[in-house]
Structure 1
Amino acid sequence: METRALRVLSANIQAGSSTRGYSDYVSRSWSHVLPAGNKRGSLDLIARLASQHDIVGLNEADPGSLRSGFTNQTHYLAQRGGFDYWTHQPNRRVGGVASSANGLLSKLEPHEVVHYALPGRVKGRGVLLARFGEAPEALLVAIAHLSLGAGSRLSQLSFIAELLSGHRHAVLMGDFNCGVEAPEMGALFRATRLQPPSCNVPTFPSWRPLRAIDHILVADGLRCAEPRALAAAQSDHLALSLQLDVPEAALR
């Protein structure tokens, strides 16, 4: 069976803000709502990293609010990183001055992109689902940023499981805010063909990674190398990168 090697990246970019320690959440809190700091420089570094990949999933990309200087950061990264295809899913708004989105950058043309709202106690989370190919077993790539609360995550993962159930060429990536050992993750694995990773790669906090809460989960019809953690400029999360071997038939 012929396969195609694709490099995949998942990155929570914190809207281009810089966080180098827990104290920055307080001392640099202004950077999360104001168009200050070197966000453009951070985005250029992230674009350089993204450009080495074929498919990129983004979390916390600003879709064009005050804090980003009204720059659609997903579009900016697509232009700077050399991606012909991009889309974003705005979800949470913060005080009318900041907004956040899931984003997709791709060098392959998606056949279809669908945005879904996720359930949860607090509204504003979503999952972005892209289909590459027209075949029933086409490659599916889902990008999500899950809630902090376990109950909401369980509802969200149950919703995502319905979207991906039975698909053996599925990928789910993003900031899950929990490890793969969490009970709600077990429910996801039981309801889909997604597989737990063979090793945990800590991604948070970026300056001293202790928790593996960012994931690229791959279904059993795909082969992949172990993910690597890479710096996404000065975001508080490290990015995850892996190589995915996809059957050519799944991309047609």
Structure 2
Amino acid sequence: MELRGVARRAFGLAVGVLLFVDVLRVWLPSIITIFGQAASTPAWLLGAFGLVWLLGGFAAPPLCRWLGPRRVAVVAAVLLGAARAALLFVHGGRPQLYLASAGLLAGIGWLAATADRGARVSPGVPLGIAAASIQHAVLGMVDLSWRTSWWAWLAGLAEVAAFLWLSAGDQDDPESPAGGWFIVGPALLLAGMLAVSPALNSVALSYLGAPFEDTNRPFLYAPISVAGALLFLWSAVSPPERLRLAAGLGLVAGTVVFAYAGGRWLPVAILLAAPSLGICVGLAAERAKHRGYALVGGVLVFGLAAIAYYAAYDIGYPNQWVPVAVGLATAVYAWRAPGPARVTVVRPAVVVTAVVLLGVSTGLAGVARTSGDRRGPDQPRLRLVAYNIRMGFGLNGRFDPDATARAIAVERPDVVALSEVDRAWLLNGGHDDLALLARRLDMHAYFAPAADPVWGDAILTRLRVGTVRSLVLPAAGAPTGAQALGVTVPVAGREWTVVATHLQPPPDGAPDAQARALTAFAKGFGGGPTVIAGDLNIAPDGTTMGLFRDGGLADGLAPFRPVPTFPAGNPVEEIDHILVLGGLRVTDVRVGTTTASDHAPVAVTLEG
């Protein structure tokens, strides 16, 4: 095949992978937020729903033998492009869920047919993965699918048009020795979770700052993400054979650090994983006879590993081994491959220069950031909002950080206590909720992990923060984990304490052990004016609330009951609470009517 045809196929594959990743970023969270309803849908049922669609991909290889891979590729490409285009305009609800599911199935079918037609994994697949990461960073982690502006529609439609045009002129090369298609699924998982995740870069930057404080700056994570994606791409396009063993060891080491070492080691994990994964993808080129089945099998590994990792936070079992196992399997697969079929289709220096300039210029747009009124109010009064943000997804399953920010900003709060803050989970589309909200609200952020280094609770404020502490609360059978994050802020010349938390009751029980630990933690700040705010998952007349009262904490919302906050839109349950200590009293209680989360925000004025 002539060089022009090889280049066209590589770029067509890259754009197709970009569209496929875009669909994945909608499909994965749609399972949780649309098919699943809060914690009421069993984790096994969510996993089964996802597996049904992934297993459907096994129909593609037989169809390729029956109809021919070219015909299957053409039909699947049209369906993938149509689903991707529709997701630009359809936001939320069952239509979003099933459009994304159809796009996923079409994407698997197109990839399987492309593999059977003799395409090479590299450079097309790593170029597509890198392009998806760069686009995600440049767009500020809010993808085209979640935007409603005209330019987003035009950009998305242009990508679809480019994909269909490049695919239309693609030629079969059935005698090609290129294989390695099994590695695509594991590569997508490790790239999205770790190696080239802009959200994880954002979080890694924040952990490099002072304890707990999010020192992330928007002008840093975008160019860093671009550089990381290009490092991954460069390693994949020109994989050095002599580094085969080192790359495998580096990938395994990166996943181990990611899974076990904690937040401050995230930069090390990323630096190890990005080039190592790229080299492994570039080296995976065995002579496979059943390339379509290899591709579908690898995508199934993606799904099974994602389910195994994230279902642990609902069911409750150790899950750190999952990324390590996938990294090890990827390293072994690349080690056993005979080596890549080298074809140069791009001038990397040109691509590097253009994309870095784009990333830096886009990131610099967010440089300006004011420090706010760090002195604190002159009167003994504080406006506080407590909000379970549900990873930034609305009741209809749409990711909309602007709506979340508006729901908070309307109350003009001094301090915000956030629950269910997701900072990089691939399951939820790979967003850093905290960075997105802090930027939109022009507030400083303080974060403490509960489940892993990128999931937990946070406090936003413009006030000067003094003491910052965090405590991991007893799990007591609750799989997700819980913590308490406390900060002190100046109010009328005194230090007030604000504690943000999200209690996780054990199965068939109440979070009594967590309540006792939380009470002791809050009183440990000295017993001055103190407020605990968050989703406590308890009823106001339950035994756990009695434990708080016995510990000296008062139910700040008691004079205003009922104060239902869940589910948003038609709240009937009172599970978001404000507890006070040290002479504080609550006034001016308002429950928001927004459906930007499955909880409604509760805003109060604290006086003392």
- Length-normalised TM-score, structure 2: 0.34
Tell me the SS of whatever aligns to 2:511.
Answer: helix
Aligned partner of 2:607: which letter? D
Query: Any stretches of 5+ residues in structure 1 without a counterpart?
Result: 21-30, 32-37, 247-252
- Match in the other structure for 1:89: 448
Match of 2:482 among 125, 131, 144: 125
CA drift of 1:11 comes to: 0.4
Counterpart code for 1:170: T
Task: For structure 2, list consecutive stretches of 5 or more residues without a partner in the other structure.
Answer: 1-377
CA distance in 2, matches of 1:122, 1:171: 24
Looking at secondary structure, tell me which structure has more helix per residue: 2
SS at match of 1:238: coil
State the number of aligned residues: 222
Q: For 1:113, which of 468, 471, 481 is the aligned residue?
A: 468
User: RMSD of aligned C-alpha atoms?
Assistant: 2.6
Relative to 1, partners in 2 of residues 1:145 and 1:193: Cα closer, same or farther, differing over 3 Å? Answer: closer
- Tell me what 2:403 maps to: 45
Question: Cα distance, 1:87 vs. partner?
Answer: 1.2
CA contact (8 A) 2:486 2:522 kept: no
Whether the 8 Å contact between 1:8 and 1:242 is mirrored in structure 2 is yes
| Structure-1 residue corresponding to 2:422 | 62
Partners of 1:234 and 1:15 in 2: how far apart? 10
Q: 1:126 to 1:108 in 2, by over 3 A?
A: same
**Could you say which residue in structure 2 is the equivalent of 1:163?**
521
Of structures 1 and 2, the one with the larger relative CO (CA 8 A, separation 6+) is 1
Q: Distance in 1 between matches of 2:421 and 2:521?
A: 23
Residue aligned with 1:216, SS: strand
**Match for residue 173 of structure 1?**
533
Tell me what 1:18 maps to: 394
Looking at structure 1, the residues matched to 403 and 389 of structure 2 have their Cα atoms a distance apart, in angstroms, of 11
* 2:559 aligned with 1:190: no
Alignment deviations for residues 1-34 of structure 1 (CA, whole Å, 9 cap, x no partner): x7333210000011122325xxxxxxxxxx6xxx
TM-fit CA distance, 1:133: 4.5
- Aligned to 1:11, the other structure's residue is in SS state strand
Matches within 5 A, 1:131-170: 131-133=488-490, 138-149=495-506, 151=509, 153-165=511-523, 167-170=527-530
Question: How far has the Cα of 1:125 moved from its partner?
Answer: 1.1
Query: Normalised by the size of structure 1, how large is the TM-score?
Result: 0.79
* 3-state SS of 1:53 partner: coil
Distance (whole Å) between structure 2 residues aligned to residue 55 and residue 215 of structure 1: 15
In the other structure, the counterpart of 1:227 is 589
Cα separation, 1, equivalents of 2:391 and 2:570 = 20
Given residue 162 of structure 1, which amino acid in structure 2 is its aligned partner?
Answer: A
Percent identical across equivalent pairs? 26
Q: Match for residue 6 of structure 1?
A: 382
Q: What do residues 113-144 of structure 1 show as CA deviations (whole Å, max 9, x unaligned)?
A: 1121010223521111112249xx73111111
Kept in 1: contact 2:497–2:528 (CA 8 A): no
Secondary structure in 1 aligned to 2:539?
coil
CA distance in structure 2 between the partners assigned to 1:114 and 1:204 by the alignment: 29
Q: Residue 104 in 1 paired to residue 459 in 2?
A: yes
- What is the 5 A alignment of 1:28-39? 38-39=398-399
Q: Take 1:118 and 1:157, find their aligned partners in 2: how far apart are those partners?
A: 9
Amino acid at match of 1:114: R
CA distance in 1, matches of 2:549, 2:572: 23
**CA distance 1:54–1:183, shift in 2 (3 Å):** same
